[in-house]
Amino acid sequence: MGSIVLAVSAPILAEFALNFTSLEYFWLACLGLTCSALITTGNPVKGVISLLIGLMIATTGEDIMSGYPRFSFGNTELAAGIDLIPAMIGMFAVSELIRNAATMKSYIRPELSKVGSIFRNLLPTLVKYKVNMVRGWIVGVLIGALPDAGGGMAAWVCMALAKKFSKEPEKFGTGHPEGMVEATSANNASLGGAWVPALVFGIPGDAITAIVIGVLFMKGLSPGPTIFMHAGDLLYALFVIFFISNIAMVFIGWFAIRISRHVITVPREILVPVILLFCIVGAFAINTSMLGVSVMLALGILAYFMEENDIPVAPAILGIVLGRMVEENFFNSLAKGRGDPTVFFDRPISAVLGTITLTIWLLPPLLRFIKSAQARRATT
């Protein structure tokens, strides 16, 4: 379902997005950043903190207007900005390695259990819970299209929906297939949905598409509506690959589960250094520079301390990816309006996007103010 929605809607949305100017892209990026900060964690404040950290990191490099290097500390390589791939390797992989190393003493080697046949009773189960499967498709695509929501959030939302509408909610948490069918359907459908904003607007729908956007930039391709004109053949090949991979995933996944489960029996004191070595090689190979390795290690340590304090990493990643886009479109829009801030609401689409974004920003503090005023009135 996610692949079908991607193949059908992406070209249509791209044609619509050709009418976008810097005004619309500024508000769209702001809306994506806002959603990532608010929906990634239960505490919106910590989501905003993570987002601001990412935006601060994105300011490293030459100033867009003046060309003056910012936060480069005299390093000519750093004046070019923070490379996305080493940053993501550090914040995702290295932080996890540090966490594993920190808990290595309490590690208990797990025992392997037998992997049962995935195909046993599969078709009857899907037929029985077809409503859950379809609902998982729809919700998964919608949540996947939200910036930084991802398959994890789609799966948990659909698990909650399945439990709410189930006739047997007491069985949830025991491996009951009803919730598993809906959650996994949403997880898979969200993957195709996440590619819609990534390809059409250049805004990643999850961490994977954020990495892919960085790779596309490295290959000289700029994600956005014009990519359908400049590299349409590659995109339609990508759509075909999505359909093929969905079919192949069933068979390859079954064998991969059987093989990869042996990895967890490898002692951590061996596994962690090997993975770290691959991370270092990957960060160095991007620009054949030790700066990438330094950035990877520094941001890996930063991400570890963020997660130790329950500050999510994903909004920071999105801030690094979209920070330059926000800044560039902001200054371009102000230049068009000769410094007049009302230019951001001159066009109908930008006015709608701006109103939605500002409403999301202002509504929570406004509701808190009204609630506190009502509480004071009640006490008096």
How confident is the model at residue 8, as a pLDDT? 80
Sign of the Cα torsion 41, 45, 48, 53 reads: negative
How confident is the model at residue 339, as a pLDDT? 81
How confident is the model at residue 278, as a pLDDT? 92
Outline where DSSP puts E strands in the chain: 61-62, 69-70
10 Å Cβ neighbour count for 331? 15
Which residue, 326, 269, 295, is CA-closest to 109? 269
Same domain, 7 and 137: yes
Same domain, 147 and 13: yes
Q: Is the pLDDT of residue 327 over 80?
A: yes
CA dist 181 and 120 (Å) reads 14
Q: Is the pLDDT of residue 222 over 80?
A: no
Q: 275 or 203: which carries more pLDDT confidence? A: 275
Bridge partners of 62, per DSSP, are 69
Rounded mean pLDDT of 80-87?
Answer: 83
Same domain, 153 and 271: no
Sign of the Cα torsion 96, 206, 323, 27 reads: negative
List pLDDT tens digits, range 123-159: 777 778 888 888 888 888 877 776 555 666 677 667 7
CA dist 162 and 26 (Å) reads 37
In Å, how far are 144, 261, 272, 318 from 96, measured between CA atoms?
24, 19, 10, 18
Same domain, 82 and 206: no
pLDDT band at 105 (very low <50, low <70, confident <90, very high): low
Rounded mean pLDDT of 320-324?
Answer: 82
Residue 262 within any structural domain of the chain:
no
Same domain, 229 and 123: yes
Same domain, 149 and 73: no
Residue 25 within any structural domain of the chain:
no
pLDDT band at 328 (very low <50, low <70, confident <90, very high): confident
Same domain, 76 and 192: no
How confident is the model at residue 303, as a pLDDT? 92
Same domain, 127 and 57: no
Rounded mean pLDDT of 255-260?
Answer: 79
pLDDT band at 112 (very low <50, low <70, confident <90, very high): low
In Å, how far are 43, 56, 172 from 372, measured between CA atoms?
19, 33, 38
Query: Poorest-confidence range of 48-62, 208-222, 299-313, 330-344?
Result: 208-222
Domain that holds residue 361: 347-380
Residue 256 within any structural domain of the chain:
no
Same domain, 130 and 206: yes
How confident is the model at residue 153, as a pLDDT? 62
Residue 16 neighbours by CB under 8 Å, 6+ apart: none
Same domain, 142 and 167: yes
pLDDT band at 280 (very low <50, low <70, confident <90, very high): very high
Whether the model clears a pTM of 0.85, i.e. scores above it, the answer is: no
Q: Is the pLDDT of residue 301 over 90?
A: yes
Task: Provide the residue count of the chain.
Answer: 380
How confident is the model at residue 118, as a pLDDT? 54
Structural contact between residues 125 and 133, judged by C-beta atoms closer than 8 angstroms: no
Q: Is the pLDDT of residue 310 over 90?
A: no
CA dist 22 and 375 (Å) reads 43
Same domain, 304 and 289: yes
Residue 235 within any structural domain of the chain:
yes
Residue 215 within any structural domain of the chain:
yes
Same domain, 6 and 154: yes
| Amino acid at position 275, single letter | I
Q: Is the pLDDT of residue 104 over 70?
A: no
**Overall number of domains in the chain:** 3
Rounded mean pLDDT of 211-219?
Answer: 75
Highest mean pLDDT, choosing among 161-175, 194-208, 236-250: 236-250
Which residue, 322, 320, 272, 327, is CA-closest to 87? 320
How confident is the model at residue 109, as a pLDDT? 58
How confident is the model at residue 346, as a pLDDT? 84
